[in-house]
Amino acid sequence: MDLISRSLSVGARLFFWYEYSLQHNSKISSPMAEPPTLARQPSAVTALSEANHGVPPGRVRHMFKKLTPPLDLECLINGFRTEFDAPDFAAEGTSARTKLELAFSKASKDGGVVVSGTFSRFYCEALFRWVDADDNDMLELAEFEKALKHLVKPNAPMPAVAFPPQFTAEDGEVHLPMQWFWPMFSSME
């Protein structure tokens, strides 16, 4: 029996064991030991600390403190122009402006202003619109790296990011929607 036949037979046994345990709702222990976690591997890459989704990224907190209330749409757009060093960011009549107005309407509370509880999501929308150069509502790899570089602290290493296969094309290019970008954004320090 060659190596491929043996590995297939092992795989088949594991598959049948798995199917049997599912059908019979059994508590049979796995025939293979659990794979070691990163915490148990001293030679593994240091794992990042667990994300704190309750606290916005540092850059977001800093910008919120710099802005002067009330945080209406014009105040925010002018603040983002300074933050991103992009004087033409969300100019009148552009699709980025229209999308930010829609995001503002969702984020604003009584009186048409953004409050601290919704500012982080609005910042994420603005950052997404700023780096989405081709305005296709998807971030390609270069655009995502630009956003990540903007969020990471100046001397901190860039975090390793695994992209989901459903957003990765066969040529290796990624197309990341806002629904994927928001959790990644909110996990930054």
Closest CA to 105 of 66, 69, 72: 72
> Domain segments of the chain: what residues?
3-31, 58-186
Burial 107-140 (b: 16+ CB within 10 A, else e): bbeeeebbeeebbbbbbbbbbbbbbbeeeeebbb
Closest CA to 150 of 164, 163, 139: 139
DSSP 106-136: HHEETTTEE-HHHHHHHHHHHHHHHH-TT-S
Question: 139 pairs with which residues across the strands?
Answer: 176
The percentage of residues in the chain with a pLDDT greater than 90, rounded to a whole number, is 50
pLDDT of residue 187: 87
pLDDT of residue 23: 52
58 has pLDDT over 70: yes
Mean pLDDT computed over 141-166: 91
pLDDT of residue 29: 46
16 has pLDDT over 60: no
Query: Mean pLDDT of all residues in the chain?
Result: 79
Pairwise CA distance, residues 151 & 130, whole Å: 13
- At 28, the pLDDT band (50, 70, 90 cuts) reads very low
This prediction has a pTM of: 0.71
pLDDT of residue 171: 92
- At 89, the pLDDT band (50, 70, 90 cuts) reads very high
Q: 106-149: per-residue pLDDT in tens? A: 998 777 889 888 999 999 999 999 999 999 999 999 999 999 99
116 in Cβ contact with 64 (< 8 Å): yes
Pairwise CA distance, residues 131 & 127, whole Å: 6
Pairwise CA distance, residues 179 & 144, whole Å: 13
Mean pLDDT computed over 65-70: 90
